[in-house]
Structure 1
Amino acid sequence: MIVITTPTGDIGRQVVDRLLGVGEAVRVIVRDPSRLPTHVRANVEIVQGSHGDADVIAKALDGADRMFWLVPPAGFRDAGDARHYYLDFTRHAAREAAKRNVRTVGVTSLGRGYPGRAGLLSAALAMDEMIEASGVPHRALALPFFMENLLRQARAIEERGTITMANAADQPLLTVATRDVADAAAALLLDTSWSGQARVPLVGPDSLTPDAMADVVSRTLGHTVRYHQVPLADFQAAMVRRGASPASAQDMADMVQAQNDGIYDAETRDAGLTTATGFSQWCQDILGPAIRA
């Protein structure tokens, strides 16, 4: 039995589909089962609740031997320090998985070894240390910048011809597509031969600056799209104006600063995987259709 957390999220839903496609027994943890697609509800066991809850995760892992682990985003209005959130959310799962020797495939950040503060990325790296300390068999999928982050800007790209972020316009960013993350996670969950603990960096085949990303998007859409870099202080202040807690805004600003400082290059990738989807292909397959829809 494979337990899947965040089965309605960008990565989790794709992992569920891949596992159901090969006939695996799947159990999902979900707060609102009505958000699951009909074909998923009909073919999985459902444990309702939060996978950060001790009773819920214990129930879900009963009789299971594998788990896909991903900490969901915190609500920006209510969130405190990201490190505390990640560790509090993961603590019960790490204990219960170790007690049952459940192989765990987790989603985390690339960048172990970065010496500075990195907000959400530091929180994810602290989570890895907690899971590893439990002794559970673990594969940590260490990820850079998600290509899917640009989907949040689909309207601005179409209507104003701009991509707006606080990331440095001339700093290359390693990227990854969520479909490749789901492929890697499903493959590890289906492989029952591995043991121990290891990190598995996943990065796409190209490294582009935000300016270069805008050029690729321009070619995909057939009209000019420019990159606009917002000063980091303005980015942080705008988050607070939109209702984010000061702690959440600081964590996001620290994350972007770490990306600007090259955090994704801090971790060796000798044992990593170059994923299949390049940024141009992703734009053709995902971003372009989303904008034109």
Structure 2
Amino acid sequence: MDDLIAGSGVAYRALANPSFFENLLEEVDSIREKGLWADTLDARRKVPLVTVAGIAAVATDLLLDRSWTGTTDVPAPGPQDLSPDGLARIMTEQLDRSVRYARQPLDELHTALVGFGLNEELVRGVVEMKRAKDEVLDSGVARTARTARTASPTTFEQWCTQILRPALLS
């Protein structure tokens, strides 16, 4: 869809977002009950992550800035690249509880999502996105120079304290 819009000749910006810190909110029960969170990424693969508010800030700046023309992607890489093991280490420090990471095989993710009653086509799309994220999908965002305009100032440590800790307590 981005290519179709960009090809129309209008001035256009497409936000290139990595994974969101907020995706970890799906893991609150597991973190609380088992000290465990799971995803499909290699435990040592460092990837960019960003808050939803960080993405909104980049989008707001673009909407308010009338000076740009043409078409391009605008990465929103977040403040730093982190691995799943690194996220678990930071959660352990910030939440005062042991948290570890477990890598979930893609076929298990597929089975779990189908078991939740999700449409097979949607499940295939999610599994392929997860595969791409483990291989190359966010590499363009990761190579982007972080600037005050594109990198959210909210660190994962801050997000754990402000968002994840209260979610665990509720």
* TM-score w.r.t. length of structure 2: 0.90
Residue 269 of structure 1: aligned partner: 144
| Residue 281 in structure 1 maps to residue 158 in structure 2 | yes
Equivalent position SS for 1:130:
helix
* TM-score w.r.t. length of structure 1: 0.54
Q: Deviations over 1:134-167 (max 9, x none)?
A: 2222111111011110011112211221101122
The CA RMSD measured in Å over matched residues stands at: 1.7
**Residues 177, 160 of structure 1: alpha-carbon distance in 2 compared, 3 angstrom cutoff:** same
Partners in 1 of 2:75 and 2:2 — Cα distance? 13
Q: Which runs of no fewer than 5 residues in structure 2 stay unpaired?
A: none
Residue 168 of structure 2: aligned partner: 291
* Structure showing greater relative contact order (alpha-carbon pairs closer than 8 Å, 6 or more residues apart): 2
Q: CA deviation at 1:219?
A: 0.9
**Residues 266, 183 of structure 1: alpha-carbon distance in 2 compared, 3 angstrom cutoff:** closer
| Residue 233 in structure 1 maps to residue 110 in structure 2 | no
Residue 176 of structure 1: aligned partner: 50
Identity %: 35
Q: CA deviation at 1:193?
A: 2.5
**Residues 271, 288 of structure 1: alpha-carbon distance in 2 compared, 3 angstrom cutoff:** closer
| Residue 249 in structure 1 maps to residue 123 in structure 2 | yes
Contact 1:172/1:208 (CA < 8 Å) preserved in 2?
Answer: yes
Residue 20 of structure 2: aligned partner: 146
Q: CA deviation at 1:270?
A: 5.2
Partners in 1 of 2:145 and 2:154 — Cα distance? 19
Q: Which has a greater percent of helix?
A: 2
Partners in 2 of 1:180 and 1:282 — Cα distance? 11
Q: Which runs of no fewer than 5 residues in structure 1 stay unpaired?
A: 1-126
**Residues 271, 284 of structure 1: alpha-carbon distance in 2 compared, 3 angstrom cutoff:** closer
Equivalent position SS for 2:138:
helix
Partners in 2 of 1:230 and 1:271 — Cα distance? 30
Q: Deviations over 1:117-140 (max 9, x none)?
A: xxxxxxxxxx21111012222111
Partners in 2 of 1:199 and 1:166 — Cα distance? 26
Contact 2:17/2:77 (CA < 8 Å) preserved in 1?
Answer: yes
Q: CA deviation at 1:271?
A: 8.4
Residue 29 of structure 2: aligned partner: 155
Contact 2:47/2:81 (CA < 8 Å) preserved in 1?
Answer: yes
Equivalent position SS for 2:49:
strand
Residue 199 of structure 1: aligned partner: 73
Residue 216 of structure 1: aligned partner: 90
Matched residues, number: 167
Q: What amino acid is aligned across from residue 54 of structure 2 in structure 1? A: D
Contact 2:88/2:101 (CA < 8 Å) preserved in 1?
Answer: yes
